[in-house]
Structure 1
Amino acid sequence: MTKVRGTHFGVATPIFTLKDGTVVKTYTNLFGVDHIFLAHKDKIMIFGGFVGWIHSDGLNKAISQIRKEFT
């Protein structure tokens, strides 16, 4: 995963909220590159990153696992 600045943070879609109030957001850019963002409950970005196409399935599986374990 490559860290990113918050360029697409504002347009990312919230997909779920963790037990501690952290919001998980995702975004896919025009090139099909998947991004994930974690936001503090006050809508401040905590982390942003993206994976290349070859790792998209792994990212989606990890997101599903996080949803199961931490929501």
Structure 2
Amino acid sequence: MPRKDETQEVQEHEPRRPYEEWARELGTPGWLLAAAKTKAGWALGQEVTRKEYEAALEAAQGEVIRNA
């Protein structure tokens, strides 16, 4: 198991880009991007790693939306 400081070092080297760039590169549908950015609380142009971006997409896809 890596030490905590080694894990931080790996995270620091992951490229951070605005989530809009990840969306274009990965072809994320508009509805899913809107759900993910809202659920994650991202501001316009917020930089995230690809791992963070994909985790937000997964969380948004798992959200159950019900009519009240």
TM superposition score normalised by structure 2:
0.30
Which has the bigger relative contact order, CA under 8 A and spacing at least 6? 2
Q: Which has the larger radius of gyration?
A: 2
Q: TM-score, normalised by structure 1?
A: 0.29
